[in-house]
Amino acid sequence: MILPILCVKCKNQPAETSAVEGRLKLCPKCFIEYFERRVKESVQKFHMFTHEERVAVAVSGGKDSGALLRSLKRAFPNLDIVALHINLGINGYSEHCESKVRELVKEECVELNVFKLSEEGFTIDDFRKTLYKNEVCSPCGIVKRHILDRMALEVGAKVLATGHNLDDILSTLLHTFFSGDFVQLVRLKPVLMPQHPYQTKKVKPLIKMSEFEDYQYALYTEIPIRELNCPHSIGTKSREGKKILESLSKGNPNFKYQTLSLFLKKLIPMIEDKVKQPNLMSCIRCGFPSSTEVCAYCKRVEMVKRVGKRA
């Protein structure tokens, strides 16, 4: 008879899963505790927010932001949390995401603000008619950043938390490093302070949680998450980046944590002062921060509406 491996924490239940890249064999109950404790430690270590602050949590319907909302609610039960969701108008996908977000906030008893992009007169699908063709992830990222800033401002939140996880951060780190984009690289920090009156403090409480851990937490705590992938995400740079990350960390369970530590403790302090962040002004159309007269968002809106009129 093969005896089950016991959980290294409680030493009582069979270890069903693992954390920290396979190094900690845990039972589901101890895994959930581990996850929530680690999220809490990251929030405190990087001074992401205080108990008095209103925190907006960007929830997409996916496992990461779902795990973020649930773990923050459990780790900080008295925190004033408001969930923000953008319905991007992606056919066969966005309505499904919104319904999962609605289920989750109901379970968590959290206030929800939904913004339907169609109210702006366009959707993410409409960008396929522009020069972006089938690569709409780039304008989608710009749209999401702008709308989330706007929503956070409207609900009076000083902090905006997103579900970026360890794998997201490291794969983007590799990409920005090799393309020499050090301005974007510095923006991967766990906390970004506002540089403009319309900006909120941006925080990434899942910076130390891997994609696998987010998925396990979502599974064990039964978070309602989307069952579909975005139809526009096939073959994107972020997927490619994650494949490279996986092959680099094969056989070295420490790789991801060592790289994160190197990034936070060595690279950032070394380059932060040397990398000149663009001087921010206010966009002449929307008033939101921009490095040029008209911001990236307003330029994309103009582009997508121009093709809309021609069609």
Nearer to ligand AMP, 207 or 295 (CB): 207
Residue of the chain from 136, 188, 295, 301 that contacts ligand FES (CB under 6 A): 136
Q: 295 is in the binding site of which of Zn ion, ligand FES, ligand AMP, none (Cβ under 5 to 8 A by kind)?
A: Zn ion
CA distance 173 to 181: 10
Q: How far is the CB of 140 from ligand FES (least distance, A)?
A: 3
CB of 272 to ligand FES, least distance (A): 29
Among 40, 128, 285, 305, binds Zn ion (CB under 5 A): 285
CA atoms within 13 A on the CB side of 205: 33
63 binds ligand AMP, rule: CB under 6 A: no
In the complex with ligand AMP, the residue whose CB is nearer, 25 or 202, is: 202
Cα separation, 236 vs 233, whole angstroms = 6
Q: Which positions from 161 through 190 interact with ligand FES, judged by CB under 6 A?
A: none
164 binds ligand AMP (CB under 6 A): yes
Binding of residue 298 to Zn ion (CB under 5 A): yes
Are 206 and 166 in contact by the 8 Å Cβ rule? The answer is: yes
137 makes contact with ligand FES (CB under 6 A) = yes
Query: Taking CB under 6 A as the rule, does residue 140 contact ligand FES?
Result: yes
75 binds ligand AMP (CB under 6 A): no
Q: Does 97 bind ligand FES (CB under 6 A)?
A: no
Binding status of residue 143 toward Zn ion by CB under 5 A:
no
Closer to Zn ion by CB, 190 or 289: give it: 289
Q: Quick check: 64 binds ligand AMP (CB under 6 A)?
A: yes
Determine which residue in the list 28, 89, 139, 163 makes contact with ligand AMP, applying CB under 6 A: 163
Q: Secondary structure of the chain in the HEC alphabet?
A: CCCCCECCCCCCCECCEEECCCCEEECHHHHHHHHHHHHHHHHHHCCCCCCCCEEEEECCCCHHHHHHHHHHHHHCCCCEEEEEEEECCCCCCHHHHHHHHHHHHHHHCCEEEEEEHHHHCCCCHHHHHCCCCCCCHHHHHHHHHHHHHHHHHHCCCCEEECCCCHHHHHHHHHHHHHCCCHHHHHCCCCEECCCCCCCCEEECCCCCCCHHHHHHHHHHCCCCCCCCCCCCCCCCHHHHHHHHHHHHHCCCCCHHHHHHHHHHHHHHHHHCCCCCCCCCEECCCCCCEECCCCCHHHHHHHHHHHHHHHC
Distance CA 86, CA 72 (A): 20
- Residue nearest ligand AMP by beta-carbon distance: 163
Contact track, ligand AMP, 111-150, x by CB under 6 A: ------------------------------x--x------
CB 56 within 8 A of CB 155: yes
Q: Mask of contacts with ligand AMP, 242-271, x by CB under 6 A?
A: ------------------------------
Question: Residue 233, interface with ligand FES (CB under 6 A)?
Answer: yes
Residues that bind ligand AMP (CB under 6 A): 58-60, 64-65, 84-86, 88, 141, 144, 162-164, 168
Site for ligand FES, rule CB under 6 A: 88, 124, 136-137, 140, 230, 232-233
